[in-house]
A and B are shown apart, each in its own frame.
Chain A
Amino acid sequence: MTGHDVNYDTGPDMGHDTGHHAVPLRINLLVWAALMALTAITVGVTSFDFGFLNVVVALTVATTKAGLVILWFMHLRYEGRVIRLMVFTAFVILAIAIGFTFFDVAYR
């Protein structure tokens, strides 16, 4: 993506509401188009039977979509270090919760 709209990568802005660059229309539309394409892929792929891999593909596509929504629609890409670190930590904790439960369930 173009660099000029990313002006908060260096640190959090502890100030006021003004000064945030609006996300360009083109980028919002591109993200929407990508989300639509990924939806088409995840529906289309169900007509093939890959066995267990179907779940893996579905979750990979869903996580890609989630990443697009979080980074652009939720502006995480434009946030300061504090919020980005917080979100990253929250998802690591969720991954640990799900991952460790699966160690337990899978090897019972």
Chain B
Amino acid sequence: MHEHRDYEGAKIGMWLFLFTEVLLFGGLFLLYAVYLHRYPAEFHAAGKDLSRIFGTANTIVLITSSLFMALAISALQRGKVLLSQRLVLLTVALAGVFLVNKFFEWSAKISHGIYPDSPALLKLPPGEMVFFNLYYLMTGLHGIHVIIGGAVLLYGWHLMRAGRVTPEHFVFLENGGLYWHLVDLVWIYLFPLFYLVV
């Protein structure tokens, strides 16, 4: 029986889904922009409280994970299945590193009493309160995407081992990779806006 495959259609579908993600985060960035416009001094003060070291480290981790993902696709296209599997695992491992960093970063903030609706947060000026609420909302939503992306890629790795993602048919892994790069894209904007805001 001939199996029907529509490579182009599958990718168009993935891009359409990514557009909804762009709009989801775009709306939040819009909220950020409007409040930055209203409270520039407070955003400046609150942004200094975030760890630039953690932010920069996680930027390097995510960009490098995106490289490994791109290399995994290229390797698979060249027929190097085992290499591709290892590169996907490396990508997932870096997703784990990102989340561990995020855990320590959030823990430090929470132990200082800075978390949504905390007594310390409620005493801050409105602008700083908005900054930290947006920080938790946006990095939290992004963190959920990191978890989902890592899980999707792990499933892609499983499909490669099971012989269902192959050098001839790899659209699942390619779409998983697109999702992973979108997660990187969102962080590329989150990083300067929260950690480097001046």
Q: Which residues does A use to contact B, with CB under 8 Å?
A: 12-18, 20-25, 28-29, 31-32, 35-36, 39, 42-43, 46, 49, 54-55, 58-59, 61-62, 65-66, 69-70, 72-75, 79-80, 82-83, 86-87, 90-91, 94, 97-98, 101-102, 105-106
> Chain A contacts of B193 at CB under 8 A?
58
CB nearest to A95 among chain B residues? B26
Partner of B8, one of A13, A25, A66, A70: A13
A55–B43 CA distance with the chains assembled, in angstroms = 12
Q: Does B123 contact A (CB under 8 A)?
A: no
Per the bound structure, the CA–CA distance linking A49 and B197 in Å amounts to: 11
Instruction: State how many angstroms separate the Cβ of B177 from the closest Cβ of chain A.
Output: 8
* Interface status of B102 (Cβ within 8 A of chain A): no
Is B158 in the interface zone, CB < 8 Å from A? no
Q: B192 near A23 (CB under 8 angstroms)? A: no
Q: A54-B198, A98-B29 given; name 6 further pairs at CB < 8 Å.
A: A18-B168, A42-B191, A42-B196, A58-B193, A97-B26, A106-B37
A69-B66 CB under 8 A given contacts A15-B7, A39-B59: yes
Question: Nearest-CB distance from B179 to chain A (Å)?
Answer: 10
Is A17 a contact of B7 with CB atoms below 8 Å?
A: yes
- Interface of A (DSSP majority class): helix
Complex contacts, A98 vs chain B, CB 8 Å: 26, 29-30, 33
Bound-complex Cα distance A17 to B178 (A): 16
Question: What's the Cα separation between A80 and B9 when bound, in Å?
Answer: 12
B64 CB within 8 Å of chain A: yes
Given the known interface contacts A17-B7, A18-B168, A49-B198, the answer about A62 and B69 at a Cβ–Cβ threshold of 8 Å is no
**A66 vs B30: C-alpha distance when bound (angstroms):** 17
CA A75 to CA B7, docked complex, whole Å: 14
Q: Does B107 contact A (CB under 8 A)?
A: no
- Is B188 in contact with A65, judged by CB distance below 8 angstroms? yes
- Tell me which residues across on chain B come within 8 A of A17, comparing CB atoms: 5, 7, 168-171
Of B30, B37, B178, B191, which contacts A97 at CB under 8 A? Answer: B30
Report whether B192 and A61 are in contact in the complex, using a CB–CB cutoff of 8 Å. yes
A83 touches B11 (CB 8 A): yes
Asked whether A82 lies within 8 Å of B12 as measured between CB atoms, the reply is: yes
How many angstroms from the CA of A83 to the CA of B175 in the assembled complex?
A: 13
